[in-house]
Amino acid sequence: MPRYAALIYSDADTEGQGSPEDWQAIMDEYSAFGAEAGAAGVVLGGEALEDTDTATTIHVEGGKGGTITTTDGPFAETKEVLGGFYILHADDLDGAIEWAAKIPGAWHGRIEVRPLLEFEE
């Protein structure tokens, strides 16, 4: 059964905004999703991420062992930021889309669904 990452993106402008009540409402939506998806055995894992202003981007210049450059902020300065992810187990892409559409981020922002690269042992 293929595994998918459901990457949760939200608008950079609204990151960290909103009243505590708004925040609580969204958390409640995520709890509801977690309960439903957990009962269905779809979610294999997932985490929420701190805001992008806590992100550090690392690049090694000149190949392995080269100079490490670190940059403050996320890799791509885009309007939409990655806020968290789930790892989903689904029969096929339609199944993954069906569950991704239930993640609250799907209406607060966007969900990018990507198949996991499965390495052969």
State the residues that interact with other proteins by CB under 8 A.
Answer: 2, 4, 90-94, 97, 113-115
Q: Considering the complex, state which of residue 18 and residue 115 has its C-beta at the smaller distance from other proteins.
A: 115
The least distance separating other proteins from the CB of residue 94, rounded to whole angstroms, comes to 5
Q: Considering the complex, state which of residue 28 and residue 98 has its C-beta at the smaller distance from other proteins.
A: 98
Which residues are CB-contacts of 108 (< 8 A; sequence separation ≥ 6)?
10, 26
Which residues are CB-contacts of 112 (< 8 A; sequence separation ≥ 6)?
6, 7, 9
Q: Considering the complex, state which of residue 6 and residue 81 has its C-beta at the smaller distance from other proteins.
A: 6
The least distance separating other proteins from the CB of residue 1, rounded to whole angstroms, comes to 9
The least distance separating other proteins from the CB of residue 92, rounded to whole angstroms, comes to 4
Q: Considering the complex, state which of residue 77 and residue 120 has its C-beta at the smaller distance from other proteins.
A: 120
The least distance separating other proteins from the CB of residue 34, rounded to whole angstroms, comes to 24
77-108 in b/e form (b: 16+ CB < 10 A) is: eeeebbbbbbebbbeeeebbbebbebbbbbeb
